[in-house]
Amino acid sequence: MKLGYQTNTWGGVIGHPAGVTSVNDAYYLANGSTEEALKDISAAGYRGFEIFDGNLMQYKDKKEEFKALVKENSLDFIGVYTGGNFIFSDILEEELIKIEKVTSLASELGAKHLVIGGGAIRANGILESDYTDMGNALNRIVEISEKYHLIASYHPHMGTNVQAPEQLDRLMPLTTINLVPDTAHIEAGGGDPVEVIKKYIDRIKYVHLKDFQDGEFLPLGEGHQNFDEMIKVLNEAGYDGWITVELDSYENPKKGAEISREFLTRFE
């Protein structure tokens, strides 16, 4: 397996403050050190990393520094995580401008995957038309990703309009984008990650793993997720892509990465 880790554990999941007044600067951002994250990820035995769009854009004028950092830690740059609301027509163009900027930079720096989160929930509830609008927006993102030779995949997430399995099933027929299953978010939304992987295996080019128990996201092996069955399904389908561990926050980020890496040795 090709194993990677998300840098967002170093600093946790926050947002860029510029997004309050500028939609095309509404980046995800981990308020930690990317340099420290890559050093720890490499030391824990992972081969690659994924990064938030806001942390990647910090290197837009320091590209050689980023490349040197990746090389120094003997890692592959797997992909970048970005997203948007996708249901409000008056800001969609701004969201797509942001995503194209991120995709262009990620491609230039050697990434292979574009991970898309999001889908807003309206104050008065979700409209059925939101899924059609979102599907159309994601199709435009697929076109952007193809322009820059990245593989685009949608990431279901709590707090969006695609957190429950029936919501995912509404969206997926409306778009050609791939699916990156985040196993813990799928369970937190009421789904069975094994069944979701089985159902959408033909559209899975990238995978996020994290454990889950009692409403808490955990390092692999510390919850009750059935990773044995998930890996079995992937292997039987001939999946040979990246598997990235994503742990939104952990008191000791390096230790969290080490715990999950040790757990994954059982599949090697």
pLDDT digits (tens, 9 = 90+) for 215-231: 999 999 999 999 999 99
- pLDDT over 90 at 208, yes or no: yes
What are 33-62's pLDDT values in tens digits? 999 999 999 999 999 999 999 999 999 999
Q: Taking the domain 2-267, which CATH number applies?
A: 3.20.20.150
For residues 262 and 110, give the distance between their C-alpha atoms in angstroms, rounded to a whole number. 28
Question: For residues 195 and 183, what is the distance between their CA atoms, to the nearest angstrom?
Answer: 11
pLDDT tens-digit map of 65-81? 999 999 999 999 999 99
Residue 252 has pLDDT above 90, yes or no: yes
How wide is the angle at C-alpha 243 spanned by C-alphas 190 and 65, nearest 5°? 120
What is the average pLDDT score of the chain? 96
Note if the pTM is more than 0.95.
yes
